[in-house]
């Protein structure tokens, strides 16, 4: 594909002319230059697609062009439309010469209802100007359609308009036919009738819309094609409709009140931006106003994704809730499921769990009846803005971006548990302290077997009260205690070996570390600032929470930002990275070996940089947020039965 930028202005609008015949390219250029002389603020670009085998239709060409458009708005025209003036050039000029979107809205916008658009058709569409962001939010042009793709996009823009800005798109229809009608148009018309059939039935317009379209098809001798296509979309168990709507938006919930510092907010934001980058429709919900559910319940929503969101606990049968939306619903969990059990125990329809730790995902599926399945889904890694591949500006030897928690505080909480819970929790804690490779779930099962053999009273109590792991949700503090205990052991082992360690935040101002001058405590940093700190360090340390089958953002971010990751091991790290080639692993059973590993890589620049380069190559290919969008789409398709 060749992208020809004929001019560049500071205007609001780019007109993209898609040329599929090189023989007319020069004529299109001449016409474009003539138009630009009349509309000096109009950016005009030509997209030449005749030699690109990956582009099979105009929809795909338009989606490919979006990433090149630098202005707020875009209008797409095909070569024959441009040459024959099918689009309303007076209307285009009015938009192009505007300095502010509000000026367009006041003077040149024509408001059409969904019903009116449905009763018109593509041959009367004489102007469609859309913000680039709005096109991305609704999933782009439908590249499974061969024609009338702008008309179908307009219907989706109207469908999702409650989530778009009122100035995101402007449209104009002519009072008479202005475009040729193609055979493929009627496949698109059949699709939109099938897609919006339920809505048309609700507003009592289905019969009229079908008849209107059939009459139009009969006029052009395409009624058989229309009816055949409509039947295919409607009668095939709606599987074909699901395939056609594969880029319908995912709703991402950002709960700004339930944040682990700013990490969860960043996850939601970065997934949203990555989805826009790859052309996957996505809507970001930032507030707790339930109006969005009312708006979305009759829309085509692909899935709902919440990052430890309490929207899944807000299931009141007397009020509107997310069960009103018929689609898969995903809770992405980072803390142990017991810690957030309140978000997992409510009767959410089509409820699925995602987690960076497969053990957590399995636990949620096994112990919470509403969760239909659990999936491993790691966060994506991020690179600090503007960082070059040959970055060598290393200020620090070793940093750790995690926080500090004094496990002694949780010990006091453990003593306040009820007698039987305290007894079981203490037994679990002893097992985990003794064997740091043991998972929380295995430790619980071993504890239950041990306790019930020892104490008939507790055995009877367990049977009578059905004290499952879920009901004993206070046991989450055992994982917190053992995590904090081993994190402290790791940090002290490094400090006792006179290795300088840089940490961030007030949590490290603890009397436990008062004697260590080699612990350098910096102020709090936000997520983006943390990426830069990693980039400035030769080595980034990772000590997991009690994850045994996990990959976290701290590991991936260090690799993206050219810092050697040294981490305690996990099953997922072993399966996805090579120890000594892409990262360096240590075992919590042998913490005393860690200081020597750190010194070795601080003193061997070539070896350290070799591993850093290998790691960057791996994560760039497999662990970006864009890749996580693809991974989630694959999970959704599996659930919807579209993965074959």
Greater pLDDT, 445 or 605: 605
55-69, 247-261, 480-494: which has the minimum mean pLDDT? 247-261
For residues 385 and 527, give the distance between their C-alpha atoms in angstroms, rounded to a whole number.
Answer: 12
For residues 323 and 20, give the distance between their C-alpha atoms in angstroms, rounded to a whole number.
Answer: 46
The yes-or-no verdict on residue 461 having pLDDT over 70 is no
**Model's pTM, two decimal places?**
0.94
Name the band, by pLDDT with cuts 50, 70 and 90, for residue 290: confident
pLDDT at 464: 46
User: What is the DSSP track for 259-311?
Assistant: -STTHHHHHHHHHHHHHHHTT--EEEE-S--THHHHHHTTS---EEEEES-GG
What is the average per-residue pLDDT within 142-160?
A: 96
Nearest to 311 by CA among 252, 372, 375, 379: 252
For residues 627 and 635, give the distance between their C-alpha atoms in angstroms, rounded to a whole number.
Answer: 13
For residues 53 and 132, give the distance between their C-alpha atoms in angstroms, rounded to a whole number.
Answer: 25
Angle 320-325-326 from CA coordinates, rounded to 5°: 145
pLDDT at 453: 66
Record the tokens describing residue 199, joined without a space: 């809505």
Task: Please state whether beta strands 2-5 and 43-48 pair in parallel, antiparallel, or not at all (unpaired).
Answer: antiparallel
For residues 387 and 368, give the distance between their C-alpha atoms in angstroms, rounded to a whole number.
Answer: 43
pLDDT at 404: 94
Angle 582-586-589 from CA coordinates, rounded to 5°: 160
Name the band, by pLDDT with cuts 50, 70 and 90, for residue 644: low
Record the tokens describing residue 47, joined without a space: 């997209």
For residues 210 and 193, give the distance between their C-alpha atoms in angstroms, rounded to a whole number.
Answer: 7
**317 CB-contact burial (10 Å; exposed 0-12 / middle 13-18 / buried 19+):** exposed
Residues 6 or more apart whose CB falls under 8 angstroms from that of 275 comprise: 250, 252, 281, 282, 629
Strands of 2-5's sheet, edge to edge? 2-5, 43-48, 13-19, 73-78, 125-131, 169-173
Check if the beta carbon of residue 446 is closer than 8 Å to that of residue 510: no
Check if the beta carbon of residue 599 is closer than 8 Å to that of residue 562: no
Percent of the chain at pLDDT > 70 equals 95
For residues 494 and 492, give the distance between their C-alpha atoms in angstroms, rounded to a whole number.
Answer: 5
pLDDT at 259: 47
The yes-or-no verdict on residue 349 having pLDDT over 70 is yes
The yes-or-no verdict on residue 460 having pLDDT over 70 is no
For residues 644 and 642, give the distance between their C-alpha atoms in angstroms, rounded to a whole number.
Answer: 6
- CA neighbours within 13 Å on the CB side: how many for 533? 22
59-63, 113-117, 144-148, 466-470: which has the minimum mean pLDDT? 466-470
What is the average per-residue pLDDT within 530-548?
A: 95
The yes-or-no verdict on residue 643 having pLDDT over 90 is no
The yes-or-no verdict on residue 465 having pLDDT over 50 is no
For residues 156 and 484, give the distance between their C-alpha atoms in angstroms, rounded to a whole number.
Answer: 50
100-104, 272-276, 458-462, 595-599: which has the minimum mean pLDDT? 458-462
The yes-or-no verdict on residue 462 having pLDDT over 60 is no
Maximum mean pLDDT: which of 103-117, 403-417, 441-455: 403-417
Torsion angles phi and psi, residue 80, rounded to 5: -70, -30
pLDDT at 319: 80
For residues 367 and 165, give the distance between their C-alpha atoms in angstroms, rounded to a whole number.
Answer: 42
Q: What is the Cα 285 distance to its own chain's centre?
A: 13
The yes-or-no verdict on residue 303 having pLDDT over 70 is yes
Strand partners, 522: 504
Task: Please state whether beta strands 73-78 and 125-131 pair in parallel, antiparallel, or not at all (unpaired).
Answer: antiparallel
Residue 595, CA distances (Å) to 226, 398, 490 in order: 72, 11, 9
pLDDT at 456: 55
pLDDT at 237: 66
Residues 6 or more apart whose CB falls under 8 angstroms from that of 351 comprise: 312, 329, 331, 370, 371, 372
For residues 199 and 525, give the distance between their C-alpha atoms in angstroms, rounded to a whole number.
Answer: 48
- Summarize pLDDT for 184-223 with one digit per residue, the tens: 999 999 999 999 999 999 999 999 999 999 999 999 999 9
pLDDT at 466: 43
pLDDT at 106: 78
């Amino acid at each position: 594909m060749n992208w020809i930028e004929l001019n560049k202005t500071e205007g609001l609008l780019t007109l993209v002319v898609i040329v599929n015949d090189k023989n007319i390219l020069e004529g299109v250029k001449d016409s474009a230059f003539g138009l630009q002389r009349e509309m000096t603020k109009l950016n005009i670009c030509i997209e030449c697609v005749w030699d690109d085998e990956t582009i099979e239709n105009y929809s795909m060409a338009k989606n490919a062009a979006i990433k090149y458009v630098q202005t707020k708005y875009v209008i797409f025209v095909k070569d024959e439309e441009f040459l024959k003036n099918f689009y309303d050039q007076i209307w285009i000029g009015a938009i192009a010469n505007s300095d502010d979107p509000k000026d367009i809205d006041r003077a040149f916008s024509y408001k059409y209802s969904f019903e009116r658009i449905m009763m018109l058709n593509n041959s009367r569409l004489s102007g469609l100007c859309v913000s680039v962001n709005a096109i991305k939010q609704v999933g782009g042009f439908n590249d499974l359609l061969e024609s009338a793709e702008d008309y179908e996009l307009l219907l989706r823009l109207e469908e999702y308009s409650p989530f778009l800005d009122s100035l995101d798109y402007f449209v104009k229809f002519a009072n008479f036919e202005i475009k040729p009608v193609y055979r493929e148009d009627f496949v698109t018309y059949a699709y939109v009738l099938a897609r919006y059939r339920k809505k048309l039935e609700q507003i009592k317009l289905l019969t009229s819309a079908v008849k209107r379209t059939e009459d139009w098809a009969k006029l052009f001798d395409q009624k058989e094609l229309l009816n055949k296509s409509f039947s295919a979309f409607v009668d095939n168990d709606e599987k074909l409709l699901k395939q056609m709507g594969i880029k319908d938006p995912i709703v991402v919930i950002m709960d700004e009140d339930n944040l682990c510092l700013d990490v969860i907010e960043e996850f939601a934001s970065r997934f949203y931006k990555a989805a826009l980058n790859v052309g996957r429709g996505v809507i970001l919900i930032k507030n707790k106003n339930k109006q969005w559910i009312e708006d979305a319940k009759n829309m085509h929503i692909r899935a709902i994704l919440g990052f430890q969101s309490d929207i899944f606990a807000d299931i009141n049968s007397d009020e509107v809730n997310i069960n009103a939306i018929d689609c898969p619903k995903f809770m992405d969990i980072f803390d142990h499921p017991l810690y957030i059990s309140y978000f997992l125990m409510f009767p959410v329809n089509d409820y699925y769990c995602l987690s960076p730790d497969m053990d957590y995902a399995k636990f949620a599926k096994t112990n919470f009846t509403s969760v239909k399945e659990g999936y491993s889904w790691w966060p994506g890694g991020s690179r600090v803005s503007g960082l070059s591949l040959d970055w060598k500006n290393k200020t620090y030897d070793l940093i750790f971006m995690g926080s500090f928690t004094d496990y002694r505080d949780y010990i006091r909480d453990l003593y306040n548990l009820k007698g039987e819970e305290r007894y079981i929790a203490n037994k679990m804690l002893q097992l985990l302290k003794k064997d740091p490779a043991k998972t929380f779930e295995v430790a619980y099962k071993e504890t239950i077997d041990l306790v019930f053999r020892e104490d008939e009273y507790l055995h009877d109590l367990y049977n009578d009260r059905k004290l499952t792991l879920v009901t004993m949700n206070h046991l989450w503090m055992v994982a917190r205690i053992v995590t904090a205990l081993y994190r402290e052991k790791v940090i002290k082992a490094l400090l006792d070996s006179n290795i300088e360690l840089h940490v961030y935040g007030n949590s490290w101002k603890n009397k436990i570390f008062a004697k260590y001058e080699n612990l350098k405590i910096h102020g709090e940093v936000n997520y983006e600032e943390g990426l830069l700190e990693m980039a400035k360090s030769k080595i980034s340390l990772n000590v997991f929470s009690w994850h045994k089958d996990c990959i976290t953002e701290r590991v991936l971010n260090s690799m993206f930002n050219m810092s050697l990751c040294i981490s305690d091991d996990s099953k997922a790290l072993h399966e996805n990275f090579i120890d000594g080639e892409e990262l360096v692993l240590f075992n919590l059973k042998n913490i005393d070996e860690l200081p020597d590993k750190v010194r070795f890589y601080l003193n061997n620049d070539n070896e350290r940089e070799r591993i850093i380069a290998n790691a960057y190559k791996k994560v760039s290919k497999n662990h970006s947020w864009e890749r996580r969008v693809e991974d989630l789409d694959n999970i959704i398709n599996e659930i919807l039965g579209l993965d074959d």
